[in-house]
Protein backbone atom coordinates (compact mmCIF):
# COMPACT_ATOMS: atom_id res chain seq x y z
CA UNK A 1 0.00 0.00 0.00
CA UNK A 2 2.86 2.38 0.86
CA UNK A 3 4.43 1.68 -2.53
CA UNK A 4 1.20 2.59 -4.37
CA UNK A 5 0.78 5.74 -2.29
CA UNK A 6 4.33 6.83 -3.10
CA UNK A 7 3.65 6.33 -6.82
CA UNK A 8 0.46 8.38 -6.46
CA UNK A 9 2.42 11.08 -4.62
CA UNK A 10 4.97 11.21 -7.44
CA UNK A 11 2.14 11.40 -10.00
CA UNK A 12 0.64 14.39 -8.18
CA UNK A 13 4.03 16.12 -8.05
CA UNK A 14 4.46 15.51 -11.78
CA UNK A 15 1.06 17.07 -12.49
CA UNK A 16 1.94 20.11 -10.34
CA UNK A 17 5.32 20.44 -12.06
CA UNK A 18 3.57 20.74 -15.43
CA UNK A 19 0.77 22.85 -13.98
CA UNK A 20 0.21 25.18 -16.94
CA UNK A 21 -0.08 22.38 -19.50
CA UNK A 22 -2.30 20.28 -17.24
CA UNK A 23 -4.42 23.31 -16.32
CA UNK A 24 -5.12 23.92 -20.02
CA UNK A 25 -6.03 20.25 -20.44
CA UNK A 26 -8.38 20.37 -17.45
CA UNK A 27 -10.10 23.53 -18.74
CA UNK A 28 -10.80 22.04 -22.18
CA UNK A 29 -11.75 18.68 -20.69
CA UNK A 30 -14.10 20.23 -18.08
CA UNK A 31 -15.76 22.45 -20.68
CA UNK A 32 -16.45 19.42 -22.86
CA UNK A 33 -17.99 17.56 -19.92
CA UNK A 34 -20.02 20.62 -18.91
CA UNK A 35 -21.53 21.06 -22.38
CA UNK A 36 -22.48 17.40 -22.70
CA UNK A 37 -23.83 17.15 -19.15
CA UNK A 38 -25.76 20.45 -19.37
CA UNK A 39 -27.64 19.31 -22.47
CA UNK A 40 -28.45 15.90 -20.98
CA UNK A 41 -29.36 17.31 -17.53
CA UNK A 42 -31.66 19.94 -19.05
CA UNK A 43 -33.43 17.61 -21.48
CA UNK A 44 -33.90 14.92 -18.80
CA UNK A 45 -35.18 17.45 -16.27
CA UNK A 46 -37.66 18.92 -18.75
CA UNK A 47 -38.90 15.47 -19.77
CA UNK A 48 -39.40 14.53 -16.12
CA UNK A 49 -41.11 17.86 -15.43
CA UNK A 50 -43.41 17.39 -18.42
CA UNK A 51 -44.25 13.82 -17.38
CA UNK A 52 -45.18 15.01 -13.87
CA UNK A 53 -47.42 17.75 -15.28
CA UNK A 54 -49.03 15.49 -17.87
CA UNK A 55 -49.90 12.96 -15.19
CA UNK A 56 -52.89 15.28 -14.55
CA UNK A 57 -53.84 15.37 -18.24
CA UNK A 58 -57.07 13.76 -19.49
CA UNK A 59 -56.94 10.03 -20.22
CA UNK A 60 -58.14 10.66 -23.76
CA UNK A 61 -58.51 13.74 -25.96
CA UNK A 62 -60.73 13.47 -29.03
CA UNK A 63 -60.03 15.86 -31.89
CA UNK A 64 -61.48 16.07 -35.38
CA UNK A 65 -59.38 16.23 -38.53
CA UNK A 66 -60.21 17.44 -42.02
CA UNK A 67 -57.72 17.27 -44.91
CA UNK A 68 -55.13 16.14 -42.39
CA UNK A 69 -55.50 19.24 -40.20
CA UNK A 70 -57.09 19.91 -36.84
CA UNK A 71 -60.73 20.99 -37.15
CA UNK A 72 -63.39 22.04 -34.63
CA UNK A 73 -65.27 19.05 -33.29
CA UNK A 74 -69.11 18.86 -33.24
CA UNK A 75 -70.54 18.76 -29.72
CA UNK A 76 -72.86 15.87 -30.72
CA UNK A 77 -69.76 13.64 -30.73
CA UNK A 78 -70.25 13.56 -26.96
CA UNK A 79 -73.38 11.39 -27.34
CA UNK A 80 -71.54 8.96 -29.62
CA UNK A 81 -68.62 8.66 -27.19
CA UNK A 82 -71.01 8.05 -24.27
CA UNK A 83 -72.13 4.87 -25.97
CA UNK A 84 -68.81 3.17 -25.17
CA UNK A 85 -68.61 1.11 -21.99
CA UNK A 86 -66.00 2.22 -19.46
CA UNK A 87 -66.27 5.90 -20.35
CA UNK A 88 -66.59 8.37 -17.47
CA UNK A 89 -66.87 12.15 -17.57
CA UNK A 90 -66.89 13.71 -21.07
CA UNK A 91 -66.16 17.43 -21.42
CA UNK A 92 -66.05 19.60 -24.57
CA UNK A 93 -63.23 22.15 -24.34
CA UNK A 94 -63.11 25.63 -25.85
CA UNK A 95 -59.61 27.04 -26.29
CA UNK A 96 -57.29 28.52 -28.90
CA UNK A 97 -54.08 30.43 -29.58
CA UNK A 98 -53.83 34.20 -29.72
CA UNK A 99 -50.96 36.23 -31.16
CA UNK A 100 -50.39 39.48 -29.29
CA UNK A 101 -48.88 41.98 -31.71
CA UNK A 102 -48.17 44.38 -28.83
CA UNK A 103 -45.61 42.07 -27.18
CA UNK A 104 -44.90 39.67 -30.08
CA UNK A 105 -46.03 36.78 -27.88
CA UNK A 106 -48.38 33.84 -28.35
CA UNK A 107 -50.96 33.22 -25.64
CA UNK A 108 -53.19 30.23 -24.98
CA UNK A 109 -56.78 31.23 -24.18
CA UNK A 110 -58.87 28.64 -22.35
CA UNK A 111 -62.53 28.72 -21.39
CA UNK A 112 -63.68 27.25 -18.06
CA UNK A 113 -66.94 26.79 -16.25
CA UNK A 114 -65.61 25.56 -12.89
CA UNK A 115 -62.53 25.32 -10.71
CA UNK A 116 -59.31 23.80 -11.93
CA UNK A 117 -57.97 21.76 -8.98
CA UNK A 118 -54.40 21.44 -10.28
CA UNK A 119 -53.94 25.23 -10.36
CA UNK A 120 -52.87 27.14 -7.27
CA UNK A 121 -54.25 30.64 -7.19
CA UNK A 122 -51.79 33.36 -6.28
CA UNK A 123 -54.15 36.32 -6.24
CA UNK A 124 -57.85 36.75 -6.91
CA UNK A 125 -60.16 34.02 -8.22
CA UNK A 126 -61.33 32.33 -11.39
CA UNK A 127 -63.74 34.28 -13.63
CA UNK A 128 -67.17 34.46 -12.01
CA UNK A 129 -68.90 36.59 -14.64
CA UNK A 130 -68.52 37.67 -18.25
CA UNK A 131 -65.67 40.05 -18.96
CA UNK A 132 -63.30 38.65 -16.30
CA UNK A 133 -60.07 36.76 -16.88
CA UNK A 134 -57.19 35.12 -15.07
CA UNK A 135 -53.66 35.42 -16.49
CA UNK A 136 -50.43 33.50 -16.09
CA UNK A 137 -47.22 34.96 -14.72
CA UNK A 138 -45.70 35.36 -18.19
CA UNK A 139 -48.72 37.24 -19.55
CA UNK A 140 -48.80 39.48 -16.48
CA UNK A 141 -45.11 40.34 -16.93
CA UNK A 142 -45.41 40.93 -20.69
CA UNK A 143 -48.44 43.20 -20.33
CA UNK A 144 -47.39 44.63 -16.95
CA UNK A 145 -50.76 43.99 -15.42
CA UNK A 146 -52.06 42.64 -12.12
CA UNK A 147 -55.32 41.89 -10.36
CA UNK A 148 -57.84 44.67 -10.96
CA UNK A 149 -56.18 45.91 -14.17
CA UNK A 150 -57.63 45.66 -17.66
CA UNK A 151 -56.46 43.36 -20.45
CA UNK A 152 -57.35 44.40 -24.00
CA UNK A 153 -57.39 41.69 -26.69
CA UNK A 154 -58.46 41.85 -30.34
CA UNK A 155 -61.20 39.32 -31.09
CA UNK A 156 -61.90 37.38 -34.30
CA UNK A 157 -63.85 40.33 -35.72
CA UNK A 158 -60.87 42.69 -35.33
CA UNK A 159 -62.45 44.56 -32.45
CA UNK A 160 -60.73 45.33 -29.15
CA UNK A 161 -62.31 43.55 -26.19
CA UNK A 162 -61.65 44.57 -22.59
CA UNK A 163 -61.33 41.99 -19.81
CA UNK A 164 -60.86 42.71 -16.13
CA UNK A 165 -58.05 40.71 -14.52
CA UNK A 166 -59.78 38.86 -11.70
CA UNK A 167 -56.76 36.76 -10.75
CA UNK A 168 -53.20 35.75 -11.48
CA UNK A 169 -52.17 32.18 -10.97
CA UNK A 170 -49.40 29.65 -11.17
CA UNK A 171 -49.24 25.86 -10.86
CA UNK A 172 -46.76 23.21 -9.80
CA UNK A 173 -44.77 24.39 -12.81
CA UNK A 174 -44.94 27.57 -14.90
CA UNK A 175 -44.68 25.36 -17.98
CA UNK A 176 -48.42 24.82 -17.61
CA UNK A 177 -49.64 28.37 -17.00
CA UNK A 178 -46.99 30.88 -18.02
CA UNK A 179 -48.65 31.96 -21.30
CA UNK A 180 -52.22 31.05 -20.31
CA UNK A 181 -55.29 33.31 -20.18
CA UNK A 182 -58.46 31.87 -18.66
CA UNK A 183 -61.85 33.29 -19.62
CA UNK A 184 -65.38 32.16 -19.05
CA UNK A 185 -66.51 29.52 -21.54
CA UNK A 186 -69.04 31.83 -23.18
CA UNK A 187 -66.43 34.59 -23.51
CA UNK A 188 -64.04 32.23 -25.33
CA UNK A 189 -66.79 31.12 -27.74
CA UNK A 190 -67.65 34.73 -28.56
CA UNK A 191 -64.00 35.89 -28.68
CA UNK A 192 -62.90 33.29 -31.23
CA UNK A 193 -66.26 33.19 -33.00
CA UNK A 194 -66.86 29.46 -32.55
CA UNK A 195 -69.74 28.19 -34.75
CA UNK A 196 -72.80 27.02 -32.88
CA UNK A 197 -72.40 23.48 -31.55
CA UNK A 198 -68.62 23.26 -32.12
CA UNK A 199 -65.76 22.88 -29.63
CA UNK A 200 -61.97 22.74 -29.92
CA UNK A 201 -61.77 19.17 -28.64
CA UNK A 202 -63.36 16.74 -26.17
CA UNK A 203 -61.72 15.24 -23.08
CA UNK A 204 -62.74 11.75 -22.00
CA UNK A 205 -62.21 10.12 -18.61
CA UNK A 206 -61.59 6.37 -18.72
CA UNK A 207 -62.47 4.35 -15.62
CA UNK A 208 -60.05 1.50 -16.36
CA UNK A 209 -56.60 2.74 -17.54
CA UNK A 210 -55.91 -0.56 -19.31
CA UNK A 211 -58.92 0.07 -21.59
CA UNK A 212 -57.74 3.43 -22.95
CA UNK A 213 -56.39 2.03 -26.22
CA UNK A 214 -59.47 -0.17 -26.78
CA UNK A 215 -61.86 2.73 -26.21
CA UNK A 216 -59.77 4.97 -28.47
CA UNK A 217 -60.06 2.32 -31.20
CA UNK A 218 -63.83 2.09 -30.80
CA UNK A 219 -64.18 5.90 -30.96
CA UNK A 220 -62.12 5.93 -34.16
CA UNK A 221 -64.38 3.21 -35.61
CA UNK A 222 -67.59 5.07 -34.70
CA UNK A 223 -66.22 8.48 -35.75
CA UNK A 224 -63.87 8.01 -38.74
CA UNK A 225 -62.85 11.68 -38.87
CA UNK A 226 -61.96 11.74 -35.15
CA UNK A 227 -58.42 11.56 -33.82
CA UNK A 228 -58.26 10.11 -30.29
CA UNK A 229 -55.03 11.03 -28.48
CA UNK A 230 -54.10 9.17 -25.31
CA UNK A 231 -52.13 10.58 -22.39
CA UNK A 232 -49.25 8.20 -23.09
CA UNK A 233 -49.04 9.39 -26.69
CA UNK A 234 -48.72 12.99 -25.49
CA UNK A 235 -45.94 12.02 -23.06
CA UNK A 236 -44.10 10.11 -25.80
CA UNK A 237 -44.41 13.15 -28.08
CA UNK A 238 -42.82 15.40 -25.46
CA UNK A 239 -40.02 12.87 -24.99
CA UNK A 240 -39.41 12.78 -28.75
CA UNK A 241 -39.39 16.59 -29.01
CA UNK A 242 -36.93 17.06 -26.14
CA UNK A 243 -34.73 14.22 -27.45
CA UNK A 244 -34.67 15.84 -30.89
CA UNK A 245 -33.83 19.27 -29.51
CA UNK A 246 -31.11 17.94 -27.20
CA UNK A 247 -29.67 16.01 -30.16
CA UNK A 248 -29.65 19.21 -32.19
CA UNK A 249 -27.79 21.00 -29.39
CA UNK A 250 -25.25 18.17 -29.17
CA UNK A 251 -24.68 18.60 -32.89
CA UNK A 252 -24.20 22.35 -32.55
CA UNK A 253 -21.70 21.89 -29.74
CA UNK A 254 -19.85 19.13 -31.57
CA UNK A 255 -16.90 21.54 -31.77
CA UNK A 256 -16.29 20.85 -28.10
CA UNK A 257 -16.27 17.13 -28.80
CA UNK A 258 -13.87 17.65 -31.70
CA UNK A 259 -11.56 19.64 -29.42
CA UNK A 260 -11.55 16.82 -26.91
CA UNK A 261 -10.88 14.22 -29.61
CA UNK A 262 -7.92 16.27 -30.89
CA UNK A 263 -6.62 16.53 -27.34
CA UNK A 264 -6.89 12.77 -26.73
CA UNK A 265 -5.37 11.98 -30.15
CA UNK A 266 -2.43 14.31 -29.49
CA UNK A 267 -1.65 12.47 -26.27
CA UNK A 268 -2.14 9.05 -27.86
CA UNK A 269 0.22 9.68 -30.78
CA UNK A 270 3.27 10.15 -28.61
CA UNK A 271 4.98 11.67 -25.61
CA UNK A 272 6.98 14.86 -25.45
CA UNK A 273 10.76 14.68 -25.19
CA UNK A 274 10.61 15.69 -21.53
CA UNK A 275 8.17 12.89 -20.70
CA UNK A 276 10.24 10.30 -22.56
CA UNK A 277 13.39 11.45 -20.77
CA UNK A 278 11.61 11.17 -17.42
CA UNK A 279 10.49 7.61 -18.19
CA UNK A 280 14.05 6.68 -19.23
CA UNK A 281 15.48 8.08 -15.97
CA UNK A 282 12.90 6.19 -13.89
CA UNK A 283 13.77 2.96 -15.73
CA UNK A 284 17.49 3.60 -15.20
CA UNK A 285 17.13 4.04 -11.44
CA UNK A 286 15.22 0.77 -11.09
CA UNK A 287 11.52 1.41 -11.77
CA UNK A 288 9.68 -1.50 -13.36
CA UNK A 289 7.49 -1.14 -16.43
CA UNK A 290 4.46 -1.84 -14.23
CA UNK A 291 5.47 1.00 -11.91
CA UNK A 292 5.70 3.46 -14.81
CA UNK A 293 2.33 2.34 -16.17
CA UNK A 294 0.81 2.77 -12.71
CA UNK A 295 2.35 6.24 -12.49
CA UNK A 296 0.82 7.28 -15.82
CA UNK A 297 -2.46 5.65 -14.87
CA UNK A 298 -2.64 7.79 -11.72
CA UNK A 299 -1.78 10.92 -13.71
CA UNK A 300 -4.52 10.24 -16.25
CA UNK A 301 -7.03 9.26 -13.55
CA UNK A 302 -6.40 12.38 -11.45
CA UNK A 303 -6.75 14.72 -14.44
CA UNK A 304 -9.79 12.83 -15.79
CA UNK A 305 -11.69 12.65 -12.50
CA UNK A 306 -10.86 16.28 -11.67
CA UNK A 307 -12.13 17.43 -15.06
CA UNK A 308 -15.13 15.10 -14.91
CA UNK A 309 -16.23 16.30 -11.46
CA UNK A 310 -15.61 19.97 -12.31
CA UNK A 311 -17.61 19.55 -15.54
CA UNK A 312 -20.50 17.85 -13.77
CA UNK A 313 -20.59 20.46 -11.00
CA UNK A 314 -20.46 23.30 -13.54
CA UNK A 315 -23.26 21.67 -15.57
CA UNK A 316 -25.38 21.15 -12.44
CA UNK A 317 -24.96 24.77 -11.36
CA UNK A 318 -25.55 26.06 -14.91
CA UNK A 319 -28.78 24.08 -15.39
CA UNK A 320 -30.40 23.99 -11.95
CA UNK A 321 -29.20 27.26 -10.41
CA UNK A 322 -28.90 29.56 -13.41
CA UNK A 323 -31.73 27.99 -15.43
CA UNK A 324 -29.49 26.86 -18.30
CA UNK A 325 -29.27 30.41 -19.65
CA UNK A 326 -27.35 29.37 -22.77
CA UNK A 327 -29.32 26.26 -23.71
CA UNK A 328 -32.87 26.89 -22.45
CA UNK A 329 -34.17 28.99 -25.41
CA UNK A 330 -33.43 26.14 -27.84
CA UNK A 331 -34.50 23.21 -25.64
CA UNK A 332 -37.71 24.79 -24.28
CA UNK A 333 -39.07 25.98 -27.63
CA UNK A 334 -39.89 28.94 -29.80
CA UNK A 335 -42.28 30.86 -27.56
CA UNK A 336 -41.39 34.44 -26.64
CA UNK A 337 -42.83 33.93 -23.15
CA UNK A 338 -40.30 31.46 -21.81
CA UNK A 339 -41.44 30.06 -18.45
CA UNK A 340 -39.26 31.46 -15.67
CA UNK A 341 -39.61 28.28 -13.64
CA UNK A 342 -36.90 26.78 -11.44
CA UNK A 343 -35.89 23.40 -12.77
CA UNK A 344 -36.14 20.58 -10.26
CA UNK A 345 -32.85 18.62 -10.21
CA UNK A 346 -33.53 15.35 -12.01
CA UNK A 347 -30.21 13.62 -12.74
CA UNK A 348 -30.11 10.38 -14.68
CA UNK A 349 -27.25 8.30 -13.25
CA UNK A 350 -27.12 6.24 -16.42
CA UNK A 351 -26.36 9.38 -18.44
CA UNK A 352 -23.62 10.34 -15.97
CA UNK A 353 -22.12 6.86 -16.32
CA UNK A 354 -22.20 7.08 -20.11
CA UNK A 355 -20.50 10.50 -20.11
CA UNK A 356 -17.81 9.15 -17.81
CA UNK A 357 -17.32 6.01 -19.87
CA UNK A 358 -16.98 7.95 -23.13
CA UNK A 359 -14.56 10.56 -21.77
CA UNK A 360 -12.63 9.28 -18.74
CA UNK A 361 -11.63 5.85 -20.06
CA UNK A 362 -10.41 7.09 -23.50
CA UNK A 363 -8.30 9.79 -21.82
CA UNK A 364 -6.69 7.33 -19.39
CA UNK A 365 -6.01 4.95 -22.27
CA UNK A 366 -4.45 7.76 -24.32
CA UNK A 367 -2.16 8.48 -21.36
CA UNK A 368 -1.11 4.91 -20.54
CA UNK A 369 -0.60 3.39 -24.03
CA UNK A 370 2.15 5.79 -25.26
CA UNK A 371 3.87 5.47 -21.86
CA UNK A 372 3.90 1.70 -22.19
CA UNK A 373 5.67 1.97 -25.56
CA UNK A 374 8.37 4.14 -23.98
CA UNK A 375 8.61 2.01 -20.81
CA UNK A 376 9.39 -1.24 -22.64
CA UNK A 377 12.19 0.35 -24.67
CA UNK A 378 15.84 0.53 -23.59
CA UNK A 379 16.29 3.40 -21.08
CA UNK A 380 19.42 4.76 -22.82
CA UNK A 381 17.76 4.88 -26.24
CA UNK A 382 14.68 6.55 -24.74
CA UNK A 383 16.76 9.27 -23.07
CA UNK A 384 18.85 9.79 -26.25
CA UNK A 385 15.68 10.15 -28.36
pLDDT at 121: 65
Q: What pLDDT was estimated at residue 352?
A: 85
Burial of 203 (0-12, 13-18, 19+ CB in 10 A): middle
- Pair 34, 171 in one domain: no
Q: How far apart are the first and last CA of the chain?
A: 34
Separation in Å, CA 372 to CA 25, 165, 172, 385: 21, 74, 56, 16
Average pLDDT, the chain: 79
Judge whether 372 lies within some domain: yes
Task: Judge if 110 and 155 occupy the same domain.
Answer: yes
pLDDT at 318: 85
Q: Are residues 195 and 297 in the same domain?
A: no
The reply to whether 151 falls in a domain is yes
pLDDT for residue 289: 72
pLDDT at 225 over 60: yes
DSSP codes joined into one string, 75-130:
TTHHHHHHTSTTEEEEEEE-EEEEEETTTTEEEEEEEESS--TTEEEEEE-S--ST
Last residue of a domain, one of 197, 230, 263: 230
Question: Do 95 and 200 sit in the same domain of this protein?
Answer: yes
Q: What counts of helices (H) and strands (E) characterise the chain?
A: 14, 14
Q: Which domain holds residue 322?
A: 2-53+240-384
pLDDT digits (tens, 9 = 90+) for 99-142: 988 888 889 999 987 666 555 666 777 788 889 999 988 888 88
- State whether 45 and 86 are in the same domain: no
Task: Give the 3-state secondary structure of residue 157.
Answer: coil
**Per the domain annotation, does 251 fall within a domain?**
yes
Give the phi and the psi of residue 253 in degrees, each rounded to 5.
-90, 20
In this structure, the answer to whether residues 261 and 355 fall within a common structural domain is yes
Residues 68 and 214 in one domain: yes
Domain co-membership, 344 together with 252:
yes
Residue 79 has pLDDT above 80, yes or no: yes
Pairwise CA distance, residues 250 & 244, whole Å: 10
pLDDT score of 195: 93
Provide the sign of the torsion angle of the four alpha carbons 170, 171, 176, 180, taken in this order: negative
Q: In this structure, are residues 177 and 137 in contact, taking their beta carbons and an 8 Å threshold?
A: yes
Same domain, 196 and 66: yes
pLDDT at position 57: 79
Q: What is the pTM of this model?
A: 0.66
Say yes or no: 83 and 123 in one domain. Answer: yes
Backbone angles phi, psi at 76, to 5 degrees: -70, -5
Q: Which of 230, 262, 284 is the last residue of a domain?
A: 230
Angle at 243 between CA 241 and CA 247, to 5 degrees: 120
Q: Which of 39-43, 286-290, 373-377 has the lowest mean pLDDT?
A: 373-377
Looking at the structure, tell me whether residues 356 and 254 fall in a common domain: yes
214 domain residue, yes or no: yes
Please check whether residue 107 lies inside any domain of the structure.
yes
The verdict on residue 34 lying in a domain is yes
Residue 235 covered by a domain: no
pLDDT tens-digit map of 179-201 = 889 999 999 999 999 999 999 99
pLDDT at 284 over 60: yes
Residue 365 falls inside a structural domain: yes
What total number of domains does the chain contain?
2
Is there a single domain that holds both residue 331 and residue 379?
yes
Question: Residue 287 has what pLDDT?
Answer: 73
Last residue of a domain, one of 201, 230, 259: 230
Q: What three-state secondary structure class fits 258?
A: helix
Pairing between β-strand 132-136 and β-strand 160-171 as defined by DSSP bridges: parallel
Amino acid sequence: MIRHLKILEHALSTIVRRKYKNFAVIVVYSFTIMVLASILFLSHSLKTEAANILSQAPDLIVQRTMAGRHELVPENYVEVIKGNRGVGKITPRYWGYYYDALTGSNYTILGVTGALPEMEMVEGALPSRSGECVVGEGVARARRIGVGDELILVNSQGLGQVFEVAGKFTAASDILTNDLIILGERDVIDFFGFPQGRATDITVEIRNPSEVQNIAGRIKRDLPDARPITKQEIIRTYDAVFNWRSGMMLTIFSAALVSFCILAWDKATGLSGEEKSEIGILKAIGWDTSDILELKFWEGLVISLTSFLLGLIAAFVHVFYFGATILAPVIKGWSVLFPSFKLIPFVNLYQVFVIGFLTVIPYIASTVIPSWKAAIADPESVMRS
